[in-house]
Amino acid sequence: MQNLKRLGRPVTGIVTSLTRNRNLIRQMAVREIAAKYKGSVLGALWTVLTPILMLAVYTLVFSVIFQSRWAGGSGSKTEFATLMFAGLIIFNFFAEVINRAPRLILDNPNYVKKVVFPLEALTWVSLVSALFGAGISLCVLLVFRIALNGMLPWTFVLFPLLLLPLVLLAAGLTWFLASLGVFLRDVSQAVGILVSVMMFLSPVFYPSDALPPKLRLLAQLNPLAFYIENTRDLLIWGRLDGLHLYPYHLAASLIVAMAGLVWFRRTRHAFADVM
């Protein structure tokens, strides 16, 4: 019984760190999102324009210049654009959170000195901010799909469920990297390089089936592959084929989140001394 209680503490810790500080998280997230576009002429419109412009560039390079076509698709450029855009939504969310993680504490030194301030809440603020951008991109994709096809597959309602383990995974990695970044300043540069490499190792610009059999298994070890492929299935193809692995990814993400939170809480007492 005691072992079960010990196992349950990190799980409840994840929930309480979010619910107990929900008002603070909401206020800081709103302020952070507003600060991104403060002083710019177009303001929050950049949230929509940025993914559209990047999508146009990637589509031009891969589908026009390199004549890339999606295996199993119709071969149209609009289909290629939507399929790639769906993958970019997942990757950009993950990349934004992870790239920022190593400097999350370093960029907020004033909060470290406040004993009562819940530093772990900064992770949720970062996640909410990134989810806002992903939500805008998702709306752009759904509107584009409706304009092309007149309707959406019913499976799109399951997309928030698919995001749950990804958010937990990102939270756990952020807690770990935010703490590690305080003690090892090189972590930020290393993470930036790794995230850039992951972009081309993830099935953003190609389906996993297009890889040679020897590389396909290696590509599936990439945690983003599951979310990117199933995002396309739910939002575009209307399929549920890949969700049989969902429980395993949910369990793995929960373990990462629990481990990251425990690591963060055990090391946070040394932040002030190092900074």
pLDDT tens profile 254-268: 999 999 999 999 998
For residue 43, what pLDDT band results from cuts at 50, 70 and 90?
low
**Tell me, what's the pLDDT at 208?**
79
pLDDT for residue 51 is more than 50: yes
**Structure tokens, 234:** 């739910």
In the chain, how many H helices and how many E strands? 12, 0
**In this predicted model, what pLDDT tens digit does every residue of 146-182 receive, in sequence order?**
887 778 889 999 999 999 999 999 999 999 999 999 9
**In this predicted model, what pLDDT tens digit does every residue of 192-250 receive, in sequence order?**
999 998 888 888 888 877 777 777 777 777 889 999 999 999 999 888 988 999 999 99
**Tell me, what's the pLDDT at 157?**
92
Query: How buried is residue 144: exposed, middle or buried, by Cβ count under 10 Å (0-12/13-18/19+)?
Result: middle
**Tell me, what's the pLDDT at 2?**
44
Q: Are 189 and 177 in contact (CB under 8 A)?
A: no
Give Cβ neighbours of residue 136 (< 8 Å, ≥ 6 apart).
Answer: 47, 48, 51
Query: How buried is residue 210: exposed, middle or buried, by Cβ count under 10 Å (0-12/13-18/19+)?
Result: middle
Q: What is the pTM of this model?
A: 0.88
Higher-pLDDT residue of 5, 150? 150
**Structure tokens, 189:** 């540069």
